[in-house]
Chain A
Amino acid sequence: MKNLRMKAARAGMDLSQDDLAKLCQVSRQTISAIEKGDYNPTINLCIAICKALNKTLDELFWE
């Protein structure tokens, strides 16, 4: 399932996938796969993404 909340939060901070990937120390393709719902990140990566986007886990990843 697509993660549109994460995509919206990233776009809201005016960050590209590449920018967010650098902040989280992962590849751009990993960020792309998470947004498209092709990859379920580990809790460590979820936390890193939340910190980079100033959001909580609930806001970005909880149904």
Chain B
Amino acid sequence: MLIAAYLLIVVIIFCVMRFMNKDKATAKYDEMQELIRGKAYKYAFWTVCLVEVGVLVLGTTGVELPFENETLQFIIILIGIVVHTTYSIWHNAYIGLNTNVKRYTIVCALIAALNFLNAFIAIRSGELFENGKFGFAFINLFIGVIFVAVAAEIFVRNRIDAGEE
């Protein structure tokens, strides 16, 4: 049953990606975009490493962060994703050549809305905190904020680009 649910999730992700891109499920990038995305991955990787080490060091000094352990690990991964997307967007390598920007924006808005809804439900039912720390529901809030920030960055970048040529 669980395997069927996971398979369904994979199929849904594939369909959403196909919906966002014009001719195939994966986004296509040109050579300059690939180069920039490579740098973005590099920066994201080192950011995750640094934050992970920072958290470990804080742990040894007795500083307790207000996050449950699995929440904290997920947040560190999300910080890496933020670095990657922000660097890519500001260097015009985030939107693929075959990406339908309008559909991409719709998907971003939907994901943000779903995550905010989940976070809101968690806040209402008091599940945002577990043992006095931010629980896994905090991830929904964080992802929602990320998607809104990504949309805002794309909008600003496009406005800057519009008056360029």
Say whether B97 faces chain A, with CB atoms less than 8 Å apart. yes
Say whether A4 faces chain B, with CB atoms less than 8 Å apart. no
A54 contacts across to B, CB distance below 8 A: none
Cβ–Cβ contact A25 & B32, under 8 A: no
Closest to A42 in B: B31
A28 to B33, CA, bound (A): 11
Interface residues of chain B: helix, strand, loop or mixed (majority): loop
A interface bracket (residues with beta carbon within 8 Å of B): 10 to 19
A18 to B92, CA, bound (A): 14
Cβ–Cβ contact A30 & B33, under 8 A: yes
Closest to A35 in B: B165
Say whether B64 faces chain A, with CB atoms less than 8 Å apart. no
A46 to B21, CA, bound (A): 27
Q: Mark B16-42, 1 if CB is under 8 A from A, else 0.
A: 000000000000001111000000000
Cβ–Cβ contact B97 & A25, under 8 A: yes
Cβ–Cβ contact B31 & A45, under 8 A: yes
A30 to B145, CA, bound (A): 30
Cβ–Cβ contact B92 & A29, under 8 A: yes
Cβ–Cβ contact B165 & A27, under 8 A: no
Q: Mark B138-152, 1 if CB is under 8 A from A, else 0.
A: 000000000000000
Cβ–Cβ contact A16 & B32, under 8 A: no
> Which residues 3-58 in B have Cβ within 8 Å of A in the complex?
30-33
Which residue in A16, A17, A26 is a CB contact (below 8 Å) of B30? Answer: A26
Closest to A38 in B: B32
Cβ–Cβ contact B33 & A17, under 8 A: no
Cβ–Cβ contact A26 & B164, under 8 A: no
A32 to B32, CA, bound (A): 11
A30 contacts across to B, CB distance below 8 A: 30-33
| B residues at A contact (CB < 8 Å) | 30-33, 92, 97, 161, 164-165
Nearest 9 pairs of A and B residues by beta carbon: A29-B92, A26-B30, A30-B32, A17-B165, A39-B32, A30-B30, A27-B30, A42-B31, A45-B31
